[in-house]
Amino acid sequence: MALVLIMATALWGIGAAMGTPRRMRWGMIGVLWAGVVLLHLILPAGNPLRLATGESAAPWLLLGGGAALVLAYRWGLRGLQRRADGGAAPEMPKSDGPFSETELNRYARHIVLREIGGPGQRKLKDARVLVIGAGGLGSPALLYLAASGVGTIGVIDDDVVDGSNLQRQVIHTDARIGMPKVFSAQTAISALNPFVTVRPYHRRLTSEIAADLFAEYDVILDGTDNFDTRYLANEVAHKLGKPLVSGALSQWEGQVTVFDTSQGTPCYACIFPEPPEPGLAPSCAEAGVFSPLPGMIGTMMAGEAAKLITGAGDPLRGVMMIHDALYSDSRRITLKKRADCPVCGDRPEETRR
């Protein structure tokens, strides 16, 4: 009997070394078991092969019967689980081809929209969107980009999840405190929509990597909370002709706009030529922020990105939407391009960031 066990172990080890699937390895061991049982049924008592493999077929039949009972139990348990889940089919793997039946059902409410339809949903699936920051604005933006069916989503952030983030950064959970935000976001997005490819970049956006990174994406979303990154993203997006969806927050007020200089809009530096003096624009940690506000603005940012991709409606190009959550008031202001802008003006200057 020991000889057969050694052979089974050798088959499993060789299969693992060759990368053979587990199911095939179990199949080879099953063939070995069947061969041993057949030897005991065919060969006469006292045959050397029977003596080397346990003398009797009874132990092997008991072993096979036990394995069959285990497999039957597992099969029955899976059947009960499927019934408890309402008979839902497992999610189909991501593909670059036509929509699967599961995807068609998932995106049905988009496809029936005249402004999006099947062609627009196909554009979303083929699109690549980069989100800078997985915080208050990035959280809802990432979730709704994934729910909308954007095929590839990149997220760059060098921070980790902290307990104080959970008041507004809804993509993260208490269980993921201490985890890098980009990996926490990846976990949430994959759970929400397994058809989306997530590319996490656990690092700060710098001038050394920005151009190469932006070049891989169609639309950039800026949800950061520091001015250096905002000016850098604006400069690189302008140079590459990428639309930049920009959002910002302050206590009870938020704003969102689309800087798309390839379409003649002003850029971020046209509106804010210089960063504010220290203390004039306190961070959320210093000034506080109304919990639902990032969800309102971040969701609008995802909506602007989806409109840019599908061509639906009228994106906020050259227009800033400002929402005051304290008084439930929204207003739009028109943004003007500056001829002397150091980024997109008549004589752009070399970036110093």
pLDDT band at 86 (very low <50, low <70, confident <90, very high): very low
What percent of the chain has a predicted confidence (pLDDT) above 70?
Answer: 76
CA-closest candidate to residue 141, choices 252, 231, 242, 256? 256
What H or E segment, with its residue span, contains residue 82? Answer: helix 58-84
For the whole model, what pTM was predicted?
0.71
The whole-number average pLDDT for the span 345-350 is: 67
Q: Is 178 left (phi over 0), alpha (psi -120 to 50) or beta?
A: left
* Whether residue 81 has pLDDT greater than 60: no
Whether the CB-CB separation of 8 and 32 falls below 8 Å is answered with yes
User: Can you give the pLDDT at residue 28?
Assistant: 73
Helix (H, G, I), strand (E, B) or coil at 93: coil
Q: What is the CATH number of domain 103-334?
A: 3.40.50.720
pLDDT band at 44 (very low <50, low <70, confident <90, very high): confident
- Return mean pLDDT, the chain: 85
**Lowest-pLDDT choice from 49-53, 248-252, 300-304, 326-330:** 49-53
pLDDT single digits (tens) 270-300: 999 988 776 666 666 677 899 999 999 999 9
Q: What is the total residue count of the chain? A: 353
Torsion of CA 275, 280, 281, 285, to 10 degrees: 140
User: Can you give the pLDDT at residue 68?
Assistant: 75
Q: Which residue has the higher pLDDT, 56 or 190?
A: 190
Residue-range domain boundaries for the chain: 2-84, 103-334
User: Can you give the pLDDT at residue 25?
Assistant: 66
CA–CA distance, 307 with 141 (Å, rounded to integer): 13
CA–CA distance, 272 with 279 (Å, rounded to integer): 16
- Here the tokens at position 278 are 């220290």
pLDDT band at 77 (very low <50, low <70, confident <90, very high): low
pLDDT band at 352 (very low <50, low <70, confident <90, very high): very low
Q: Which residue has the higher pLDDT, 343 or 50?
A: 343
